A = this chain, B = another copy of it.
Amino acid sequence: MSIERIESGPLMSQAVIHRGGGSVHLAGLIAADLNADTKGQTEQILARIDALLAAAGTDKTRLLRANIWLVDIGEWAMMNEAWSPWVAPGCTPARATVEARLAAPKARVEIMVDAALP
């Protein structure tokens, strides 16, 4: 069964397509511009998820699961201000959001998702 990797770097790939399982697995993503606030960082991450899912031939209507890490769990509502308008109605994934310190000092949020292929 074939595996395809998108933007495969020396430490990790940004997305891994598993045709045998009918799914694509994205890396834990942070914002490119870490000067943005938590809502802005989330918006950047979700746009990046859209791009990676498109590169894998699928889209956010086929999201399966999402792990979200917030540096301050008190910013849960702020993250959702970006998440809520982004998710496709009726197509929300299974999701878990917990607090954790992240590798990049200014990152406020990191998101990792799996989606089904068409």
Contacts and interface: CB of A to CB of B under 8 A. Distances in A.
A73 B101 CA distance: 7
Contact of A1 (B22, B65, B93): B22
Nearest to A1: B22
Contact of A11 (B9, B26, B80): B80
Copies of this protein in the assembly total 3
A76 B11 CA distance: 12
A45 to B, nearest CB: 12
B5 A91 contact: yes
Contacts of A87: 10-11
Closest 4 CB pairs of A and B: A28-B96, A20-B22, A12-B95, A99-B101
